[in-house]
Structure 1
């Protein structure tokens, strides 16, 4: 396996047109309720299945549609603010902000997908051990992605499955339970899916009803992908933003000045269109994603027939290649000699062409979603 860190090779390895085949890295990430893998939009290696699952829902993830989901985010944000106020600001008790940001991310994804929060914020706890379970799963499967032959010996070992009850993760279980609950609501006339503001599940159901060729597991695959892929990654980025601001008071002060100046136009719940016009906020988010990307693994691909030249070296067909965001984001030629340090100003002190090059070199959440989904 060849690890590549040069930003110039991103669009070759993770190309949109005629994408390179995914390696066995992804087998470890498939759901296996009873030891048998269920194809998912992210982890399947079969391009036919991937396209079958991806094509019908691609439009839902367009920026235009995503902006229609802002009311769901605002609702959960108000819950977060109220809980932080009543539990900590009013009482003076210490707050584990990292934990609360992660719980917020999970509840946001639940609200966006099912119009139903998982209940992390209201309870102030890890409901049903979802976060712990996902962490335990990724801690094990991250190793298996690098040694795929260990899957049946370790994570998918039938003896281990027996002792853990052959269950899938609580996150996937919650998603599947919500799918079944929504089906029952529609069947009994308690839910109208043709509402003006529709969550992801309503849109998934509409697509399923219109396409008879979809596999029976499509709805569960879409819903569980939202929950498992969107929650932790969002939580990690939020934690990185707040950690770096709280440990760099000069940056925090500059951001607060920008926010205070724009307060009247932003309102109590700033929407995306207003917030995107704040240059320092944008730089802070980019720098947080650069220094602490949500994905640390290389997301491998296989060099196609005929081979390929990577960084000036020819690699024969069948060679496994991958890129780690952590390595790419520390490229000194792209991000400067001080790339190991927190400096949001690097995104502002350059011309437009250089900034676009830096943005294209970021392997953050949204970028990987485009490549891999």
Structure 2
């Protein structure tokens, strides 16, 4: 198989690519130079075609996650905390997922919609208050505040306070960013993590390491449990008896054999993965719409027409959003061009005889994966303009080509390890984006200086915008 010369000898090149903040661009360039199968390291291979998705991530393939995910297992009191996303143990993953999978179905999550609505209204109110005080607002930060507070509302019946204080509560956003930044780099050479951060010998002589994410989730869970022990209503805490925490507790009561650590794993997964992924997608959608005025005008026309026909509420409902075809196209296209994951989602070949992928034999123990940023730009699937923003590609008839595009999306992963919380993200996104653009005119403060800095593909700067109440009549007339 082909690849850079130094990648045959060491994992250092791919570690440096990750450290550069542009590993996703490097992977795209490598596949365009060397082809479908590219060697990234002495024992690491990247596959660049959607046709390999079933072979690598299919339900029956039994390829376990690589040691990259061990790096993403946080420490609490010096002990590793494994969750649904980062565990390599398939038996543990099944044990964690089976009791709660039904809670994450879209049918069930729609029952949380009133609580999402409450947070959306607070978001709009706080945005307008900020805009009244200063000429611009950092929309990137506010979208992340929103994503975290929604998760607090539906998990613990209590916003975390990001919107209310307009700040990074307990520095948790910064902590998650630094955690994923560390993981994206060191995950290219997991041995470095074992030698230092998770070395039992070293940790024996150092203070216990505690993940701020785990600590934050456990603190919120303890607050919620304390409130439930006092009754549904306390002096300052009224909770929904059907929130995630209530259902997690019910699950443990029904099956006392479930370890107490499962509760920590479930709540931590909601706080960590559920908030950050949603924020990345929200920012990506807004970014592409603001930098493509024709698409924004088309979306606003769809929203204004629906509002004029009585098909759109002030806070758009999930049901209403499903009838907005251009909105759906924009969300899919943003997820295609700017997947929250910019690295290969690694698995390990387990079969003694190895496996064949795209005509290449991979021996047992080979680390193999697909990078969504590479797969989503396959011109054979998405067309000659696969590198470009074009929501209209998703408006084509539901023929085999459209089905192939749908099957090729790795925005939330694939197979039985697909992100369990993707429906939470979709519920938030399909409600907030149409509500936001139906209500406001949003423009970049300095559009020519817009810059996208990626490290685990989190927006860091360049998202200062002006927000003004929008005149829908103009869109209807257009």
- Same-fold call, TM cutoff 0.5: yes
Per the alignment, residue 174 of structure 1 pairs with 216
Which residue of the other structure, out of 418, 431, 434, is the alignment partner of 1:371?
Answer: 418
1:350 offset after TM fit, Å? 5.0
Query: Pairwise CA RMSD of aligned residues?
Result: 2.3
Gap runs ≥5 in structure 1: none
Decide whether the 8 Å contact of 2:345 with 2:371 is kept in 1: yes
Distance 1:135 1:202, change over 3 A: same
C-alpha distance 188-149 of structure 1, shift in aligned 2 (>3 A) = same
CA deviation profile, 1:317-336 (whole Å, cap 9, x unmatched)? 22111111111111111111
Aligned to 2:361, what secondary structure does the other structure show? strand
Q: Matched residues in 2 for 1:91 and 1:39: separation?
A: 44
Q: 1:277 to 1:329 in 2, by over 3 A?
A: same
Q: Are the structure 2 counterparts of residues 68 and 164 from structure 1 closer, same or farther at C-alpha, using a change threshold of 3 Å?
A: farther
Tell me, yes or no, if structure 1 residue 25 matches structure 2 residue 68: yes
1:321 aligns with 2:321: no
TM-score (structure 1 length as normaliser): 0.93
Q: Deviations over 1:141-180 (max 9, x none)?
A: 11121111000334446879988872212x3222101222
Equivalent of residue 148 in structure 1, options 172, 186, 190: 190
User: For the residues of structure 2 that align with 1:150 and 1:320, how far apart are their CA atoms?
Assistant: 17
Q: Secondary structure at the match of 1:265?
A: coil
The structure with the greater share of residues assigned to strand is 2
What residue is the counterpart of 1:212 in the other structure? 256
Aligned equivalents of 1:256, 1:367: Cα separation in 2 = 32
The alignment partner of 2:137 has SS state of coil
CA distances 1:98-151 after superposition (whole Å, capped 9, x unpaired): 111111111111111111111111111111111111111111111121111000
C-alpha spacing 1:253/1:39, structure 2 compared with 1 (3 Å): same
Which of 296, 303, 312 is matched with 2:349 structurally? 303
- Give me the whole-angstrom Cα distance separating, in 2, the residues matched to 1:178 and 1:34: 17
Match in the other structure for 1:240:
284
Q: Deviations over 1:7-52 (max 9, x none)?
A: 0111221112353112111110112123321222221111111111
5 Å-filtered alignment, 1:96-245, equals 96-156=138-198, 166-169=209-212, 171-190=213-232, 198-245=242-289
**1:69 Cα deviation from its structure 2 partner:** 1.2
- Give the Cα separation in 2 of the matches to 1:354 and 1:136: 40
> In 2, are the aligned partners of 1:20 and 1:304 still within 8 Å (CA)?
yes
What is the CA–CA distance in structure 1 between the aligned matches of 2:185 and 2:358, rounded to whole Å? 27
- Is 1:62 the counterpart of 2:109 in the alignment? no
> Does the CA-based 8 Å contact 1:105-1:232 persist in structure 2?
yes
Q: Distance in 2 between matches of 1:249 and 1:279?
A: 18
Give the TM-score normalised by structure 2.
0.73
> Residues 205 and 18 (structure 1 numbering): CA distance in 2 closer, same or farther, change over 3 Å?
farther
Report which of the two structures shows the higher radius of gyration computed on alpha carbons: 2
CA contact (8 A) 2:71 2:183 kept: yes
Cα gap change, 1:100/1:4 in structure 2, threshold over 3 Å: closer, same or farther? same
Pick from 123, 129, 140: which aligns with 1:86? 129
- Which of structure 1's runs of 4+ aligned residues deviate more than 2 A? 152-167, 181-192, 349-353, 365-373
